[in-house]
Amino acid sequence: MTTFLSRELREGLAAARKLAQKRSSRLRIEVGGKTYPVLRVWDSGFAMDLDDAPHLRGLVDLYDGGKHLSQCLIVASETQDDEMWFDFKRSTPVADRAALDFARDEAAPVALIERS
């Protein structure tokens, strides 16, 4: 049995794999009102398809579907196969409420109930 695949077949398989990875990923970045799909994210950066990735630099917002994950300061680092890799210089998670400037007491009342 032979394991030889023609060049056209290898390119077709690679294109199908790339398309499936794009469709399955809900990750995206938003910068300047434009949205770009993200293939993978790791602790120190993320990867985008080389065809879709401009040489981004600066502040971007990272989303998972409609959920805002973080605000990141990025720089393009290298190309690997058909991907452009970006490194985080800073990645700040987005909180759903304002940060407290003081320590909250565990036994503090949650609400005030008045007697009628």
Q: What is the pLDDT of residues 1-56, one digit of tens each?
A: 567 778 887 777 777 776 666 666 788 999 888 888 888 889 999 998 888 777 78
Tell me, yes or no, whether 5 lies in a domain: no
This prediction's pTM: 0.66
68: domain range? 26-93
CATH code assigned at 84: 2.40.10.430
pLDDT for 89 equals 93
pLDDT for 61 equals 93
Give residue 60's pLDDT band: very low, low, confident or very high (50, 70, 90).
very high
> Which runs of E-coded beta strand occur in 5-115?
27-31, 34-37, 40-42, 45-49, 57-64, 67-80, 83-93
Those residues whose C-beta lies under 8 Å from the C-beta of residue 63, and which sit 6 or more positions away, are 27, 28, 29, 30, 69
Comparing CA positions, the residue from 46, 30, 32, 36 lying closest to residue 83 is 46
Tell me, yes or no, whether 106 lies in a domain: no
CB 44 within 8 A of CB 88: yes
Q: Mind listing the pLDDT tens digit for each residue in 69-98?
A: 899 999 988 888 788 899 999 998 888 777
pLDDT for 2 equals 60
